[in-house]
Structure 1
Amino acid sequence: MNKLLSSMGVALGVTLAAPFAVAGGDAAKGQPLTAVCAACHSADGNSALASFPKLAGLGERYLLKQMKDIKSGARPIVEMTGLLDNMSDEDLANIAAYYNSKVTQLSGSKDFNILVNSGTEVNALELGTRVYRNGNKEAGIPACTGCHSPRGQGNEPAGYPRLSGQHADYIAKQLQDFRAGRRANDEAKVMRGVAERMTDAEITAVANFIAGLN
């Protein structure tokens, strides 16, 4: 647990060390560049399909990092292969500014029971709320609030994304990918360190809670 929290501190220090390394983009210039993005993410960044993340209001710094990582191959996404190859850093910054200027539409949480490792059923919303707000001390899982804020608004200066309102299925997949090492572009392995301690039930529950968090 202490090692994980230390890693989180390192990651925060890395992202805060150069807060002006990313120049603010121009949303107006970014809008015409998003035509190809709209097919999956919608024109305003609120994707209709849970397999594609909502980009609206996600955080300019975070969005720019993800696009650079996708372009460089640090974060491979099959559906985006080649789409950013001809984009300059300025283009990507402008796209990030455009999508960050949009308002996130909440996906909404669902009320259901979920089977945990003990073999008993618990309310998924209650479990998700507990994990998000308090973590799981026994498993060494820190609260999500530390990086993503109590309301899921993220931390723009640190580059931590907004989670509030994101598709539950998408969040669950990212946590599963971090846990399995299929996604590895997180600073100082912070998300991999968190996800590797989470059970399937905790991932499903916290993702469902986040989808309706506001």
Structure 2
Amino acid sequence: MKGLLGQQGIIMRRKSSRLILAASALSTLIALPAMGNIFQDELDQVDFALKNNPTHALQQSLESCLAQRNSAVKLNKMGDEVRARRALQYCFDSLNLSKTYVVRVAAPSQRELLAKAKKEYDQALSLTPDAANGLAIYRECAACHEPEGWGRTTGSVPQIAGQHRTVIIKQLADFRAGNRDAVLMVPYATVESIGGAQAVADVAEYISTLEMSVENGVGSGENLALGEKLYREHCLECHGENGEGSNDDLIPRLQAQHYKYMVRQFKWLREGARRNASEEMTALSMALDEDEMEAVLDYASRLQPNEEYRAPPGWKNPDFEQ
């Protein structure tokens, strides 16, 4: 039986009634632990086991371990290492793992990742974009994001059409710097795949000009009053009255974004998988309970762009017409 964890970022989906999950691929060398690294060493071993399933554990055991693993990460972020290691111990017991420890090559610090992304962001922003080259690059992106840039209502792919150019540049820079994970996105964003900072500037320019769909995925609509209240309390100041965001202030446009995509990103914020998020967004994701999160994101998903940004009914991207 194959393990549950693959490369970069935990993703869950159902396929032929089997649960497929993906997460960061980890490689380690066996050695004695350094002080302060014990939790990370044990987490690395659990992730390796979930990916490779060396003890041939049952699917149910792997799924239960994954839940405990995610709980351990949250507890450790809260400073409760004792309970975090206790949660990981469940995995060692249920998967019949023996503990070893690792010596790791020092990974770049969060500050270094941010600095690397900021450097490319500044460089791309200073360049004059070439939308024609942006289209040529985007043809590869369209395999997932669709020719119109509307993504998928399932939330597996976001709507990027009409997103602010600066926001797109920043997200691409973060992917390339290793400051944000996404199992399918990262390979398409590399220098080897699309080119340097000029390519980032070009494709961001093209995407930002695409007309937006207003037929995006939304939530159940059961608690929109609470959602509006929470939006006004926590989101309006930055994202705007109508979710318009800001190109100048690097605030993403929320209008017509797929509900399930936003839910997934919010959960990744809680789990630390969105390392490029602001402190305010991370704190908010931890402060809201599940019902509040679903309510505010359902409300946000129903915010609509102005008429000038909307695609007319039945619109297809003419750049992709045969």
State the TM-score bracket (shorter-chain normalisation).
Answer: 0.7 to 0.9
What does 1:37-52 align with in structure 2 at a 5 Å threshold? 37-49=141-153, 50-52=155-157
Name which structure has the greater RCO, CA cutoff 8 Å, separation 6+. 1
Query: What displacement does 1:90 show?
Result: 0.7
Structure 2 distance, partners of 1:39, 1:20, is 27
Query: What displacement does 1:89 show?
Result: 0.7
Which of these residues, 163, 166, 169, is aligned with residue 61 of structure 1?
166
Alignment of 1:102 onto 2:210: yes
Q: Tell me the amino acid that sits aligned with residue 89 of structure 1.
A: A
**Alpha-carbon contact 2:134-2:199 (below 8 Å) kept:** yes
Structure 1 distance, partners of 2:150, 2:301, is 13
Structure 2 distance, partners of 1:100, 1:175, is 23
Q: What TM-score do you get using the length of structure 1 for normalisation?
A: 0.77
Query: What displacement does 1:21 show?
Result: 7.6
Q: Tell me the amino acid that sits aligned with residue 151 of structure 2.
A: S
- For 1:81, what is the secondary structure of its paired residue? helix
Structure 2 distance, partners of 1:190, 1:20, is 26
Aligned counterpart, 1:128: 227
Alignment of 1:164 onto 2:247: no
Structure 2 distance, partners of 1:44, 1:93, is 19
Q: How many residues align?
A: 179
What does 1:185-204 align with in structure 2 at a 5 Å threshold? 185-187=276-278, 189-204=279-294
Aligned counterpart, 2:183: 78
- For 2:299, what is the secondary structure of its paired residue? helix
Structure 2 distance, partners of 1:174, 1:80, is 14
Greater Cα radius of gyration, structure 1 or 2: 2
User: Identity across aligned pairs (percent)?
Assistant: 29
Query: What displacement does 1:207 show?
Result: 1.4
Query: What displacement does 1:42 show?
Result: 0.9
Distance 1:108 1:207, change over 3 A: same
Structure 1 distance, partners of 2:221, 2:248, is 36
Query: What displacement does 1:48 show?
Result: 2.7
Gaps of 5+ in 2: 1-117, 305-322
Aligned counterpart, 2:201: 93
Query: What displacement does 1:77 show?
Result: 1.0
**Which aligned segments of 4 or more residues in structure 1 are displaced greater than 2 angstroms?**
18-21, 23-29, 108-113
Structure 1 distance, partners of 2:185, 2:217, is 27
**Alpha-carbon contact 1:60-1:96 (below 8 Å) kept:** yes
**Alpha-carbon contact 1:27-1:98 (below 8 Å) kept:** yes
Report which stretch shifted further, 88-97 or 22-31.
Answer: 22-31
Query: What displacement does 1:111 show?
Result: 4.9
Please list the CA deviations of residues 45-104 of structure 1 after superposition, one character each: whole Å capped at 9, or x if unmatched. 111342111111111111111111111211011112322222211101111111111122
Aligned counterpart, 2:31: none
- For 2:174, what is the secondary structure of its paired residue? helix
**Alpha-carbon contact 2:124-2:169 (below 8 Å) kept:** no
**Alpha-carbon contact 1:63-1:96 (below 8 Å) kept:** yes
Query: What displacement does 1:108 show?
Result: 5.6
**Alpha-carbon contact 1:26-1:97 (below 8 Å) kept:** yes
RMSD in angstroms over aligned alpha carbons?
2.2
Aligned counterpart, 1:22: 125
- For 1:54, what is the secondary structure of its paired residue? coil
